Amino acid sequence: MSKMANSEVKEAASDSTAGKMIFEPILEDGVFRFDCSANDRDAAYPSLSFMNSNDRDVPIMSNKVPLYIPSFECLLGQQLVKLELPVGTSFYGTGEVSGQLERTGKKVFTWNTDAWGYGPGTTSLYQSHPWVLAVLPNGEALGILADTTRRCEIDLRIKCRIQFNAPASFPVITFGPFPSPSAVLTSLSHAIGTVFMAPKWSLGYHQCRWSYDSEERVLEVARKFWEKGIPCDVIWMDIDYMDGFRYFTFDKERFPDPKSLVKDLHHIGFKAIWMPDPGIKHEKGYFVYDSGTDHDAWIQEANGMYFVGDVWPGPCVFPDFTQSKIRSWWANLVRDFISNGVDGIWNDMNEPAIFKAITKTMPESNIHRGDNELGGHQSHAHYHNAYGMLMARSTYEEMELADKRKHPFVLTRAGFIASQRYAAMWTRDNLSNWEHLHMSISMVLQLGLSGQPLSGPDIGGFAGNATPKLFGRWMGFGAMFPLCHGHSETDTINHEPWSFGEELKYVLKQEGLKIIILQLVRLSPKGVHGDFHCVWEFIAQA
C-alpha cells in the first residue's frame, strides 16, 4: 500500500464511530490482536515493541477465542479502547511510574519526560510502557498492550476497567487470561523479547557522582573502596570527563589518558562506565558534528532545516536514530570510543531532553526520516517515545559486535516497552528522602511487571543530602535491586558509604542490615575484590 493510500485509510479509520473490536489469534495460544476494523488492521504502523513485527501482523491457526473483548470509540483522530473485567480485578504494570505498586485508581501518560524531582503524583516519567497487568479475582492474570508509540493515556480510575486513549489508529494485544502473572509475563517476553544478557560484573555495586571531575579523583574513590573493604565493582564517569561536554571526547587536562585510567581501574578490580548523550554540539570543526553533517544525520524541523536545541554543550543537533544508516554511523563512533577501554556506556538525556523549552523536549512537528520497517517518515510525535530505545539499540549492537567475547552493558534513561533487549535503566532524578526510598521499591517491581527487570534507583537519592540513617536503609534495600547503583548530583554532600562516618556503621549494625549489605558480596563477581571478612569488619566494628 502506498504512503498516500495508507494515510487515507488511517484518516477514514479514525472517523469510525464505536463498537466491539475485531480480533485474530497471533504469536501463540491465548494471545490476540484487536483492531477497530479491517481497514485499521491493514493501516497499522509497524510494531516497535514486538521483537519481530511480523509476529503481531501474521495470524496463527487457533480454535481459541478471547474471553474478554475490548470496545472502542473513535472521534476527532483519537481512539479510546475500553476493556471491562470482573469485579475485584486489580491492576499493575504501566511501566516506569511513581507512587504505589497497585495501579488501580490511577491515570498515567506514556510520554518520555525529563522529570527531575518527580513525586508520587507525577503522570509521565522517563520511559513509556503502554501496558497493564490485571490480576483477576480467581487468581488468573491478563495482560493488555496498546501497541502505539504515540502519547497514550492509561486510565485505571474506573473500577474493573482498563482504558487506553491515543491518536488513532492502533492495535491492542491481550495476553491470557493465564493461570498466573508470571505466565502472562512469560508470554509477553515471547512478543517483546527478554532482557539482554548483562555481564556478571554489572550485578555488583556501582558508584557514580555528577561528577568525579578528574582521573585523580576517580582513582581516589576506587582505591578507598578497596582499602575499606566495601564491595564495589564499577565506577561511572558523568559529563565532566568530556572536553566542553562534546560527546566522544576527553578533557585533556583532567582526563588526559583514559586508556591508562581504565587500565589502573581494571588492575584493582573495577570496571568503568562512561556517558555519551544524543545532543551533539552544533560546532564546525568538532569531528562528531562534521561527520554527522556529512552523513545528513540530524533530525529536521518541519521546514527541512536541522533542528537545534540547547543541552549541556549549548546549541545541539540530534541524530535521527530511526534510520539504520544513522544508527550505523553512531555505532562507528561507539566502536572508536570503547577502544579507550570503556566497559559500559550510559545514555542519558535521551527523551530527548531540551533546555529552555516549555515542553522539555523538541517540537512534536520535527521530522524523522525513518526506515519503512519502523514506520517511515514521521513527525517527532510518532517517534518520541521510541527515541531513547533506538539510541540504546545502536549503542548495544555495536558493543556486541566490537568484542564478541564480552557481554555489552548499556544503561538508558529514556526507553519504550521493548528497551530491555538493549539496556538496563534506572529511575533517574529522585530525591534524597524517605518517600523516594519507599517509592523506589514499587518502581523497580513495577518495571519488572512491565517487562524490564534490570533496573534500580539512585541509592541515597540523586538530589539533596542523605542522612546516615536514610543512606544506610537505602543501601540495604539497594543490595536487593537488580541494578545496585549509588549516584548523587553536584552540590550535594558526598554520598560514598564512608562519607557518613561512624554513624552509618552504627545504623547498619543496629538495624540488622549486615546480612543485606553482605548480599553485595554475593552479587559482586570479585567478592569485594578480597576476603569476605573485610566487609564484616567494616560493618561490625562500630
Kindly report, residue by residue over 144-192, the tens digit of the pLDDT: 999 999 999 999 999 999 999 999 999 999 999 999 999 999 999 999 9
The DSSP bridge partners found for residue 273 are 236, 344
Residue 301, C-beta contacts closer than 8 angstroms, at least 6 positions apart: 307, 363, 365, 366, 367
Enclosing H/E stretch for 18: strand 18-20
| Average of per-residue pLDDT across 467-486 | 91
pLDDT above 90 (res 15): no
Catalytic residue among 140, 147, 213, 429: 429
Quick check: bond before 180 cis, omega within 30? no
Question: Rounded to an integer, what distance in angstroms lies between the CA atom of residue 516 and that of residue 498?
Answer: 17
Question: Would the CA dihedral through 435, 437, 439, 442 be positive or negative?
Answer: negative
Quickly state the pLDDT bin for 37 (edges 50, 70, 90). very high
Predicted local confidence at residue 508, as pLDDT: 66
Q: Decide if 96 is catalytic.
A: no
Contacts made by residues 435-442, CB under 8 angstroms, sequence distance 24+ = 435/119, 435/120, 436/461, 437/461, 437/470, 437/473, 437/474, 437/477, 439/98, 439/99, 439/120, 440/474, 440/477, 440/481, 441/477, 442/99, 442/100, 442/101
Q: Decide if 320 is catalytic.
A: no
Quickly state the pLDDT bin for 7 (edges 50, 70, 90). very low
pLDDT tens per residue, range 60-81: 999 899 999 999 999 999 999 9
Beta strand 410-412 with 424-426 is: parallel
Predicted local confidence at residue 403, as pLDDT: 86
Quickly state the pLDDT bin for 476 (edges 50, 70, 90). confident
pLDDT tens per residue, range 317-353: 999 999 999 999 999 999 999 999 999 999 999 999 9
pLDDT tens per residue, range 512-536: 554 455 455 544 544 444 333 444 4
Catalytic residue among 140, 348, 398, 458: 348
Quickly state the pLDDT bin for 541 (edges 50, 70, 90). very low
| Average of per-residue pLDDT across 216-227 | 96
Enclosing H/E stretch for 317: strand 314-317
Question: Rounded to an integer, what distance in angstroms lies between the CA atom of residue 450 and that of residue 136?
Answer: 17
- What the chain holds in terms of domains, given with CATH numbers, is 3-192 (2.60.40.1760)
Predicted local confidence at residue 3, as pLDDT: 39
| Average of per-residue pLDDT across 382-401 | 97
Enclosing H/E stretch for 81: strand 78-84
Catalytic residue among 153, 277, 343, 351: 351
Angle 375-198-320 from CA coordinates, rounded to 5°:
25
The DSSP bridge partners found for residue 133 are 92, 143
pLDDT above 70 (res 5): no
Alpha-carbon distances, residue 27 vs 23, 65, 143 (angstroms): 13, 14, 14
Quickly state the pLDDT bin for 537 (edges 50, 70, 90). very low
407 secondary structure, DSSP code: -
Predicted local confidence at residue 517, as pLDDT: 52
Question: Rounded to an integer, what distance in angstroms lies between the CA atom of residue 418 and that of residue 308?
Answer: 28
Residue 240, C-beta contacts closer than 8 angstroms, at least 6 positions apart: 210, 211, 212, 213, 251, 254
Q: Decide if 351 is catalytic.
A: yes
CA 275 to chain centre: 15
Beta strand 280-281 with 107-110 is: unpaired
Predicted local confidence at residue 525, as pLDDT: 47
Reference 112, options 386, 369, 418; nearest CA is 386
Predicted local confidence at residue 509, as pLDDT: 63
Predicted local confidence at residue 528, as pLDDT: 40
Which DSSP string corresponds to 129-153?
A: --EEEEE-TTS-EEEEEE---S-EE
- Enter the C-alpha cell of residue 446: 513495577
Q: Answer yes or no: are the C-beta atoms of 98 and 125 closer than 8 Å.
A: yes
Question: Rounded to an integer, what distance in angstroms lies between the CA atom of residue 98 and that of residue 431?
Answer: 12
At 541, is the secondary structure helix, strand, or coil? coil
Alpha-carbon distances, residue 419 vs 53, 246, 396, 413, 522 (angstroms): 15, 26, 11, 10, 27
